[in-house]
Amino acid sequence: MKRIYVKEEWCLGCRLCEYNCAFANSGMTDMVKALRGKEIHPRIQVETDADGITYAVSCRHCTDPICVKSCIAGAISKKDGVIEIDHSKCVGCLTCVLVCPYGCVVEDEGGAAQKCELCMKNTCGAPACVKGCPNGAIVYEERGEAE
């Protein structure tokens, strides 16, 4: 299955991926209309470590996903390898946010859980963060099932 992989060596910490993610999942066709004057809730987060190294983290789509096991409402499932959240079922307990070892499940605007679904449910068709990354620091590729 194709996944998003991080090449932190090339990450510039520009945070374009966060904005492209927020726009892709806004359901709107204009980025200005979607994001101007709003606080963004992206599903990919650019982290900075103590040495100033930056890298963008999003869901690993684990082979054995702990978030799926932890969800008390059965809102998280695995479909063709992609871990998805059914927002109509999420009760907002945020257990999944606590258990994800990568910190990849986050709270959305309304207090429910949200996570990267590889832009499969929006109109992008392929991860918007990867498409917009100026330096190839995140890639979307097939590397086999490692975990």
Partner 1 sequence: MNFYPEFEVVRNDSRCIRCRVCERQCANEVHWYDADGKVMLSDESKCVNCQRCVTLCPTRALKIVKSDCRLRENANYSDQTIKEIYRQAETGGVLLSSMGNPNPLPVYWDKILINASQVTNPPIDPLREPMETRVFLGKKPEHITRNADGTLNTQLAPQLTLSMPVMFSAMSYGSISYNAHASLARAASALGICYNTGEGGLHEDFYKYGKNTIVQVASGRFGVHKDYLEAGAAIEIKMGQGAKPGIGGHLPGTKAVGDVAKTRMIPEGSDAISPAPHHDIYSIEDLRQLVYSLKEATEYRLPVIVKVAAVHNIAAIASGIARSGADIIAIDGFRGGTGAAPTRIRDNDGIPIEPALAAVDKRLRDEGIRNNVSIVCGGSVRSASDVVKAIALGADACYIATAACLAMGCHLCRSCHTGKCNWGIATQRPDLVKRLNPDIGSQRLINLMDAWRHEIKELMGGMGINSIEALRGNRLMLRGVGLTEKELEILGIAHAGE
**d(Cα 95, Cα 75) in Å, to the nearest integer?**
11
Q: Phi and psi of 130, rounded to 5°? A: -65, -45
Q: Which of residues 54-73 bind ligand SF4 (CB under 6 A)?
A: 56, 59-62, 65-67
Q: Which does 9 bind (CB under 5 to 8 A by kind): partner 1, ligand SF4, none?
A: partner 1
124 binds ligand SF4 (CB under 6 A): no
The vertex-143 CA angle with 16 and 60, nearest 5°, equals 50
Instruction: List, in sequence order, every residue forming a beta bridge with 55; answer none if it has no partner.
Output: 47
31 binds partner 1 (CB under 8 A): yes
Site size toward partner 1 (CB under 8 A) is 20
47 binds partner 1 (CB under 8 A): no
Q: Is 20 exposed, middle or buried (0-12, 13-18, 19+ CB in 10 A)?
A: buried
46 binds ligand SF4 (CB under 6 A): yes
63 binds partner 1 (CB under 8 A): no
Of the candidates 18, 65, 62, 14, the residue with the CA atom closest to the CA atom of residue 44? 18
Instruction: List, in sequence order, every residue forming a beta bridge with 78; answer none if it has no partner.
Output: 83
Structure tokens at 84: 């998805």
Q: Which does 61 bind (CB under 5 to 8 A by kind): partner 1, ligand SF4, none?
A: ligand SF4
Please give the residue ranges that form the binding site for partner 1 (CB under 8 A). 9-10, 12-16, 19-20, 23, 31-32, 35-36, 52, 132, 134-137
Please give the residue ranges that form the binding site for ligand SF4 (CB under 6 A). 11-17, 46, 56, 59-62, 65-67, 83, 100, 102, 104-105, 115, 133, 135, 137-138
